[in-house]
Amino acid sequence: MNKQDRKIKKVVIAGGGTAGWMAAAAFSKLIGKHLEVVLIESDDIPTVGVGEATIPTLHIFHQLLGINEQEFMAATNATFKLGIAFENWRDVKQDYLHSFGFLGQGCWAAGFQHFWLKGKQRGIASELGDYVPEHLGARQGRFAVQQGQELNHAYHLDAGLYAKYLRNLAAKYGGKRLEGKISKVNLDDESGFIDSLTLASGEVVDGDLFIDCTGFRGLLIEEALHTGYDDWSHLLPCDSAIAVQTKTVSAPIPYTRAIARDAGWQWRIPLQNRTGNGLVFCSKYLSDDEATQILLNNIDGERLNEPRVIKFKTGQRRKYWNKNCIAMGLSSGFIEPLESTGIHLFQRAIVRLLQMFPSQGINKSDVEEYNAQTKEEAENIKDFIILHYHLTERADTPFWRYCKNMDVPDSLKHRMKLFKESGQVFKKDEELFGETSWIQVMMGQGLMPEQYHPIVDMMEDDELKRFLDTISGAVKKRVQSWPDHNDFIKRYCPSTVSTLGK
């Protein structure tokens, strides 16, 4: 029997970290009854583990796995996240907030931004974020989880502790962990499929389906199967990051800070008892030593570890699923963490594979559909990230001049032109970022529409004012019912983590 025709009875996950343990937990709990799930990882190989911010789609994954929010947050030192503050991106000392949630209320013909644009022209509208509860909550440092509310919040979490939490969940449902380094990937001579993995100890682990979570190296998908990589460095030129953790010196805020620097940007992610810091930069304009100094000059609190340099290349694998191997996590590609999409892409890869799981054997149509969907999703996110760099008024450094003047994909050019000329934003079904996100970032970066939809003129000014005031009043009332973010965390999910810096 050909390898590709074999029923899938054993899934082998190569590598741990966030992606590996998310996959192990999901497969073990959701389809593990008649499936053997084995994860191989080595304590000697550190995970990248700097991605500590998520987006609201994580709720879908947690609901599938029956994860209790309070328990998970306490175990991962987590805080709530309502959005990302972009500082110095439009220009130096010009800031805006991209929040989660939904913007105001539109009508059948036009989104809320059209009503707001006329209101702004007439002097009867306040700032855009006043019409989004999560935006106002982030600015006021308030949040609470209330019964029946839409799940428009996300988390800041310790990625290492999250992997540990999921590891325990996987074990509960029969997922097995093997300690060891993979020394060789053994291919089937006839089909070219992966037959087994040889560990440094000499142990051979066979399997039917292999998940590559070996990080940037892509031990299975690239080194063994030579899948190829599409490089996006010309569009997303940052290729390095430096990460360091510090003790918390103030109450955690309910949003991530993304602070643009001369040749990249700095993140600040507040957990319950420490802060994650990092600098994403382009090595063409900044050395590792210079970047480290910039980061260390712009952190608060005592350092908990030594700064760590991480090198990467933005892009994607030419096939996410090749033969009987599926790349997940950093082995599948990398879109820098500007909008915290990393864990989302891990989870989408897992759920998509579960939806088209090849239990009776691998067929070409499943593989092609999986690759097409995954590629389209990644390229939509890529456009959204490029937007932040390209749509800028900054021209103060060589890095920002390059970003401002670079040629961007036609799909992004079209979105920007459409919004500028008509105020229109359209979301395709499978896209991650919706109208509210595109509107907040485009306006935040300085792109304002030249006109609004004519249906807005059906409202007289006093009627439009009442409409706008009703929405902002409801947002204000809702946010006033939320307690202080830090006070709520102390009551709802106080950290059970005993050691700082873990």
Distances (CA, A) of 422 to 42, 120, 271: 54, 16, 41
> Is pLDDT at 502 greater than 50 in this prediction?
no
Q: Mean per-residue pLDDT for 452-461? A: 96
Which position among 7, 9, 29, 81 bears the catalytic label?
81
HSE-up of 60 (CA within 13 Å, CB side)? 13
What phi and psi, each to the nearest 5 degrees, are found at residue 40? Answer: -105, 125
Q: Mean per-residue pLDDT for 195-221? A: 97
Q: Residue 501's pLDDT is what? A: 41
Three-class SS state of 240: strand
467-500 per-position pLDDT tens digit: 999 999 999 999 999 999 999 999 999 999 865 4
Q: For residues 382 and 135, what is the distance between their CA atoms, to the nearest angstrom?
A: 24
Q: Mean per-residue pLDDT for 363-379? A: 96
308-349 per-position pLDDT tens digit: 999 999 999 999 999 999 999 999 999 999 999 999 999 999
**434 pairs with which residues across the strands?**
none
Two structure tokens written together for 335: 């879109």
Q: For residues 87 and 198, what is the distance between their CA atoms, to the nearest angstrom?
A: 48
Sorted by sequence, the CB contacts under 8 Å of residue 213 that are 6+ apart come out as 13, 14, 15, 16, 17, 19, 20, 23, 328, 329, 331
pLDDT more than 90, % of the chain = 93
> Is pLDDT at 261 greater than 90 in this prediction?
yes
Q: For 163-177, give one letter per residue: b (16+ CB within 10 A) or e.
A: bbbbbebbeebebeb
Q: Residue 27's pLDDT is what? A: 98
Q: Which of 231, 215, 234, 233 is nearest to 223 (CA)?
A: 215
Q: Residue 49's pLDDT is what? A: 55
Question: Where are the chain's structural domains?
Answer: 6-52+158-231+315-362, 102-143+381-480, 240-311
- Report the chain's mean pLDDT, rounded to a whole number: 95
Q: Mean per-residue pLDDT for 237-259? A: 96
pLDDT more than 70, % of the chain = 97
Three-class SS state of 334: strand
82-120 per-position pLDDT tens digit: 999 999 999 999 999 999 999 999 999 999 999 999 999
Sorted by sequence, the CB contacts under 8 Å of residue 69 that are 6+ apart come out as 62, 145, 493
**245 pairs with which residues across the strands?**
276
**257: amino acid identity, one letter:** R
> Is pLDDT at 408 greater than 60 in this prediction?
yes
Distances (CA, A) of 53 to 257, 357, 363, 472: 11, 29, 36, 28
Q: For residues 151 and 62, what is the distance between their CA atoms, to the nearest angstrom?
A: 12
> Is pLDDT at 50 greater than 80 in this prediction?
no
Q: For residues 176 and 185, what is the distance between their CA atoms, to the nearest angstrom?
A: 20
81 labelled catalytic? yes
Q: For residues 454 and 114, what is the distance between their CA atoms, to the nearest angstrom?
A: 9
Q: Mean per-residue pLDDT for 160-175? A: 96
Given a contact cutoff of 8 angstroms between Cβ atoms, the answer to whether 166 and 71 are in contact is no
Q: Residue 24's pLDDT is what? A: 98
> Is pLDDT at 51 greater than 80 in this prediction?
no
**84 pairs with which residues across the strands?**
98, 256
CATH number attached to the domain at 6-52+158-231+315-362: 3.50.50.60
Q: For residues 453 and 21, what is the distance between their CA atoms, to the nearest angstrom?
A: 48
Sign of CA dihedral 121, 124, 127, 130: negative
Q: Residue 48's pLDDT is what? A: 59
Burial (0-12, 13-18, 19+ Cβ within 10 Å), 159: buried
Sorted by sequence, the CB contacts under 8 Å of residue 67 that are 6+ apart come out as 61, 169
> Is pLDDT at 297 greater than 50 in this prediction?
yes
Q: Mean per-residue pLDDT for 227-243? A: 97
Q: For residues 310 and 264, what is the distance between their CA atoms, to the nearest angstrom?
A: 14
Q: Please, which pLDDT band fits residue 74 given cuts at 50, 70 and 90?
A: very high
110-164 per-position pLDDT tens digit: 999 999 999 999 999 999 999 999 999 999 999 999 988 899 999 999 999 999 9
